[in-house]
Amino acid sequence: MVKRLGVEAQVANPPPPAIAEEAAPLAPTQASPPTPTTNPEGSHGDDYLITKVTSMDRRPETNRGGAGYTHGSSLIGICPRRNALTILSGDAGKRPTRPQDRIMWAIGRAVEKHIRDAFVRAVKREGVIGQWACRCGKSKRVGLYSPTYKCEHCSQGLYTYGEVTLLDHQYRIAGNPDLLYYRPDNLRLRIVEIKSKKQALFDELTKPEANHILQASIYRRLAKIEGYDVDDYVSIVYGSKDYTFRGRPYKEYHILPSEGVEATLDDMWSRAGAVREFLDAFKIEGVSATLPNRITACASVTSTTAKGCDQCHACFAR
């Protein structure tokens, strides 16, 4: 069934999940201060807070996807052989981070969240596909927003928007588009990718970046596979990370994916299929499973792409 706005879309969405019974509240207790160390002043140096924060910042970032699925954001430039070697090394799903990365990600995500949340409020949630949650978070529902759904635990409506996960089970690809909404003029699902830019880069934008078009197009294909009646165009919206004294801090582009984009998506799906085949073999054969072939950019260990790969040594050793 093609999922369209209206009755069919509502029927296609599952009912709210069952809510567990409320646990008996704990009796209030008087908080006690922690037991001090032998030398509290000596263990609380000038960088005490920064050291704690940095230790959290440096924890490996978990890649999106999970459960043997490749995330759509990882399809751009994907190397199936590198993915396989990462799995063999035991580092699958993790990547090192720096405090600078964490801060920039937090700023970017805040800008993107503001744009998305403002749009959802402006249209009063109508026509928006999301993972809707109540205030306590114990009741969630995926699909169109409906004021008729209430949480049995907190009695509140499911007002809070969350990203939807789209899946291609055949190729094991997962994706979380920033925003999905039915266009009011043609009732087809528009996929929106939201990005943030520093002011200087924002000012230079005259068209969306190629990778951002690809990412939105990946989610469009996933939505189509899921059975949604998707719009021909995708939207890419940019927000400025800095305060601007002129003009609007937003730019919006509507793009019709070209045949070249579709061909690139076909190649990405093929590579994701190679990862899927390796995972299936790995479950049976273990470390002796045959690795996917090297990509053409890695013709030798001295190639630029190979030298920048964290699995270069392991790749050319097999």
Between the alpha carbon of residue 261 and those of residues 76, 207, 212, 245, 269, the distances in Å are: 12, 16, 11, 36, 12
Residue 17: pLDDT above 90?
A: no
Mean pLDDT of the chain: 86
The whole model's pTM is what?
A: 0.82
Task: Give me the residues paired with residue 228 across strands.
Answer: 3
pLDDT of residue 65: 52
Tell me which CATH code domain 63-125+161-316 carries. Answer: 3.90.320
The pLDDT tens digits for 90-143 are: 765 566 688 999 999 999 999 999 999 999 999 999 999 999 999 999 999 999
- 8: which 2 tokens? 């069919």
Over the range 44-82, which residues count as b (16 or more CB within 10 Å of their CB) and which as e?
Answer: eeeeeeeeeeeeebeeeeebbbeeebbbbbbbeebbbbb
Mean pLDDT check: name the lowest of 101-105, 163-167, 187-191, 254-258. Answer: 101-105
Task: Give me the residues paired with residue 190 across strands.
Answer: 181
Contact 115, 194 (CB under 8 A): yes
- 220: which 2 tokens? 């469009």
pLDDT grade, residue 1 (50/70/90)? low
Pairwise CA distance, residues 84 & 166, whole Å: 23
User: What ranges do the domains of the chain cover?
Assistant: 63-125+161-316
